Structure 1
Amino acid sequence: MNSDTVTAISATAIALGSLWISYSQTRATRLHNRQSVKPLLEMRTIKGYDDHRAGLQVINAGLGPAIVTNSVVRLDGEAIGYWSLEVYRLVTASVPVKPKVYCAGPGAVILAGQSSFLLHLEGFRDDEHGWFWDLVTRRLVIEIHYESLYGGENFKAALSPF
């Protein structure tokens, strides 16, 4: 084996090593970029005593916007559709006071840091509005499917009944 062969083999090995390092760095950068815009939706039931407001709230605690792809609404264990004005009307058909609503249907964007009540009642009082608290904590389940700007992740946020 002469010196030209050793030099050629060494140059090839260094080039392959550089290619592997470049590929690894690119992959790590892509993963970091995905994580830096990853949304994280949380569902909460809120009963505020100071502002007399109660309801079901969705919060984007992640770093990027959440793009809603679908939602599933269950009332008393039965699936009745996706969270829309029509389903809201079904859910509240027999209640004495109509709660306020925010519909986050397919295509809706929940921005990073945004917090919205999907369903809430202002002027909430335990003695008068027990039916509403029972609705949002025991009877109603809203499951939101969402993804980041990159798409294809199929994340899910839901609050199970107590």
Structure 2
Amino acid sequence: MRADTVIAVAAAVIALGSLWVSHSQGRATRLHNRQSVRPILQIRRIHEDGRVGLQMINAGLGPAIVTNTVVRLNGEFVGRWDRDVKSRIFAASDWPMTYSLRQGAVVLNGQQTFLVRYDSDVPDRLERFWDLVSSRLAIDVHYESVYGGERFIVSSLPRGDQAR
């Protein structure tokens, strides 16, 4: 084999290796950028001194963009988390404070808000409301990061728990 052929083959192998390294590095950088702005929504069930509710927290590094919400009561689909659904779930006499999530709503990183909160000095009312939000009411929030397309979902009922 001639020297110029060996040099040409070696140059081609080095060029292909460089292309592979460059492609891998670009892919790793894109993945890192996506992870650096990933939202992580959590819904916590709160039962404390005269207050019962569902608190949503964005524990991730980036904003969460809401794409959909699904509400189930006793396992049955009720609708989206909006005023119409709330009026079918909650009695007028026990109307809680609520926070609606419409499609396109943004939950900033570090933001904490109650999706539903009921304050009362009457223990029986608190226990009835606790029964509702802890085991019968399920709110699923579908969301994505600013990049879009991830289809993340968080539910007020932990995995394995089914609404009665």
TM-score with structure 1 length normalisation? 0.92
Residue aligning to 2:93 = 96
The one-letter code of the counterpart of 2:151 is: N
What are the within-5 Å matches in structure 2 for residues 47-66 of structure 1?
A: 47-49=47-49, 52-66=50-64
1:23 and 2:23 matched: yes
CA distance in structure 1 between the aligned counterparts of 2:72 and 2:104, rounded to whole angstroms: 20
Give me the identity figure in percent.
53
The one-letter code of the counterpart of 1:108 is: A
Does the 8 Å CA contact 2:70/2:81 hold for their aligned counterparts?
yes
Structure 1: gaps (5+ residues): none
1:80 CA drift (Å): 0.9
1:113 and 2:110 matched: yes
> How many equivalent pairs are there?
159
What are the within-5 Å matches in structure 2 for residues 11-160 of structure 1?
A: 11-49=11-49, 52-92=50-90, 94=91, 96-123=93-120, 125-160=122-157
Aligned residues: CA RMSD: 1.5
Q: 1:148 to 1:127 in 2, by over 3 A?
A: same
Of 82-91 and 116-125, deviating more is: 116-125
Q: 1:132 to 1:124 in 2, by over 3 A?
A: farther
TM-score with structure 2 length normalisation? 0.91
Structure 2: gaps (5+ residues): none
CA distance in structure 2 between the aligned counterparts of 1:23 and 1:32, rounded to whole angstroms: 14
Residue aligning to 1:10 = 10
CA distance in structure 1 between the aligned counterparts of 2:139 and 2:9, rounded to whole angstroms: 62
CA distance in structure 1 between the aligned counterparts of 2:64 and 2:121, rounded to whole angstroms: 29
